[in-house]
Amino acid sequence: MLPRDFPGDLADELRFLPDFLDAPERLFEELLATVVWDTRLRNRKTASFGIPYNYSGLTYPEIPFPSAIAALAEQATTPLGFRPNNALLNLYAGNGGMGFHSDSSAALATDSGVGIISLGAARELVFRRSGANYALQLPAGSLLRMSLPMQASWQHALPAASPTTAARISVTFRRIVSD
């Protein structure tokens, strides 16, 4: 359930399943143990699988989905309403985060969206429009789908938490259209 203070025109653009995964700890540990992380960004580590989603001046090689990500993408396809062909993973330390931004829809399939599966420590995702902020707690095992149209009017951020907060991984799913 989304927080009650969320305006209707924000809630309409989100789908939130707090208990999407049964055993998020297992996947968290598997990804921590197996993923080779890219360290080019300062506030988080990343890894890209599938057709690359190149952004923020970074490019990634095309790497097939590992089996755990392929299984997750399959499970997420119905709630997301699109079949992901890219998984961009983020690994955050407690004080890591992502500033306010909107996701570019240019390379994404029409009527798809952006999916976020959260693992590890629960963190807040904050939505902002016209100076008003709305925070959503993302617990381990949750799935959030953001629509593409909302990116035009809303920004979102993952604010830094305390350095003692445990690590979090987000698996962000997209459907890229190759040209």
Residues that bind ligand AKG (CB under 6 A): 90, 98, 103, 116, 125, 156, 158, 170, 172
For residue 12, how many other CB atoms are within 10 A of its CB?
12
Q: Is-contact 121 28, C-beta < 8 A?
A: no
Say how far apart CA 43 and CA 54 lie, in whole Å. Answer: 17
Specify the residue, 65 or 100, whose C-beta has the smaller distance to ligand AKG.
100
Q: Nearest approach, Cβ of 101 to ligand AKG (angstroms)?
A: 6
CB of 102 to ligand AKG, least distance (A): 8
In the complex, what is the shortest distance from the CB of residue 42 to ligand AKG, in angstroms, rounded to a whole number? 15
Report the C-alpha gap between 14 and 143 in whole angstroms.
10
Q: Closer to ligand AKG at the Cβ: 85 or 172?
A: 172
Nearer to ligand AKG, 34 or 137 (CB): 137
